[in-house]
Amino acid sequence: MTIEELENEQTEDLIEFIKWGNQPEYKGLADNAFIVFCLRFRDRVQRMCRIIVEKRGYDYTIGDQIAEYVFGRVLKYRKYNPKICKLRDRDRCVELYLYKIAQTGLSNFETALKNPFKDAKIITEFPDVEEFIDMAEEELPEEKKAELRRIDEIIKRALERLSPAHKIIYLTYKPYEIKLNKGEHYLPRHLLKQLQEKLGFSQSTIRVYKNQAYEKINEYLEIYGSK
């Protein structure tokens, strides 16, 4: 069936057609049904998502992202069960279903805000200092660029005196430094677990290697860092 033909179908029938998307012979029908479904509920879902995020203090951009999440979940999981809702207005039943998905999307968004490092990965190689310079918000003076390149080389030379494990641990910890005046370096728990599995080290061993790496780097910076 074409998009034009599907425009007159009941919403619950559209959802049923969408569920057939994992069957090759019905893939075209499922795709067209999903397009019609999105067009039918696009404005309502966007308005709903903007309202719920505004109540949490977020702007419409976040609401639109949640709306995209809603339609993405409909397509990916196809779990709508029309028997659950007892309302006579069947489209209203679908709206309630979409509202629950939107609430989940907002909850996931806020969880990600509280844990911004959940997708962080182990770092095994030095980032390109030239890329860092190019990505600076403001054009750096040539003297500052030269200083960054010089410090980068000193740190590399220091880590060359240690094992590859020292290098990996240092590079992975470096982005998460806080309270530098106290010499404390924190790591997201899942990332620490990745390090343990990759290196075969215990947490205490990783801590020892980390301290050795920072000590060696500080030693080199004291010797070669001052002009």
Judgement on whether residues 105 and 160 belong to the same structural domain of the protein: no
Q: Decide if 122 is inside a domain.
A: no
Euclidean distance between CA atoms 140 and 36, whole angstroms: 51
Closest C-alpha to 217, from 184, 148, 180, 170 = 170
Judgement on whether residues 141 and 211 belong to the same structural domain of the protein: yes
Q: Is residue 21 a contact partner of residue 27, using CB atoms and an 8 Å limit?
A: yes
What pLDDT is attached to residue 45?
A: 94
Euclidean distance between CA atoms 196 and 188, whole angstroms: 13
Cβ burial, residue 74 (10 Å; 0-12/13-18/19+) = buried
Euclidean distance between CA atoms 159 and 178, whole angstroms: 21
What pLDDT is attached to residue 50?
A: 94
54, 58, 95, 142 from 46: Cα distances, Å: 12, 14, 12, 48
pTM strictly above 0.85: no
Judgement on whether residues 110 and 136 belong to the same structural domain of the protein: no
Judgement on whether residues 32 and 68 belong to the same structural domain of the protein: yes
Domain boundary among 83, 114, 145: 114
Residues in the chain, pLDDT under 70: 112, 114-119, 134-138, 177-186, 226-227
- pLDDT single digits (tens) 173-189: 887 765 444 444 567 77
What pLDDT is attached to residue 35?
A: 94
What pLDDT is attached to residue 177?
A: 64
Domain tally, the chain: 2
Q: What is the CATH number of the domain that holds 177?
A: 1.10.10
Judgement on whether residues 10 and 109 belong to the same structural domain of the protein: yes
Judgement on whether residues 24 and 77 belong to the same structural domain of the protein: yes
39, 72, 180, 186 from 28: Cα distances, Å: 17, 17, 57, 50
Q: Decide if 201 is inside a domain.
A: yes
Q: Decide if 123 is inside a domain.
A: no
Judgement on whether residues 141 and 110 belong to the same structural domain of the protein: no
User: Residue 42's domain spans which residues?
Assistant: 3-114
Reported for 53-56, long-range contacts at CB under 8 A and 24+ positions apart, including other chains, are 53/106, 56/106, 56/110
Judgement on whether residues 63 and 89 belong to the same structural domain of the protein: yes
What pLDDT is attached to residue 200?
A: 93
Domain boundary among 79, 114, 149: 114
- pLDDT single digits (tens) 60-94: 888 999 999 999 888 887 778 888 888 899 999 99
What pLDDT is attached to residue 47?
A: 94
Judgement on whether residues 103 and 136 belong to the same structural domain of the protein: no
Q: Is residue 1 a contact partner of residue 24, using CB atoms and an 8 Å limit?
A: no
Judgement on whether residues 16 and 102 belong to the same structural domain of the protein: yes
Euclidean distance between CA atoms 191 and 116, whole angstroms: 12
The phi and psi torsions of 177 (rounded to 5 degrees) equal -65, 130
Domain boundary among 58, 79, 114: 114
With a CB cutoff of 8 Å and minimum separation 6, the contacts of 45 are 67, 70, 71, 98, 102
What pLDDT is attached to residue 160?
A: 92
Q: Decide if 23 is inside a domain.
A: yes
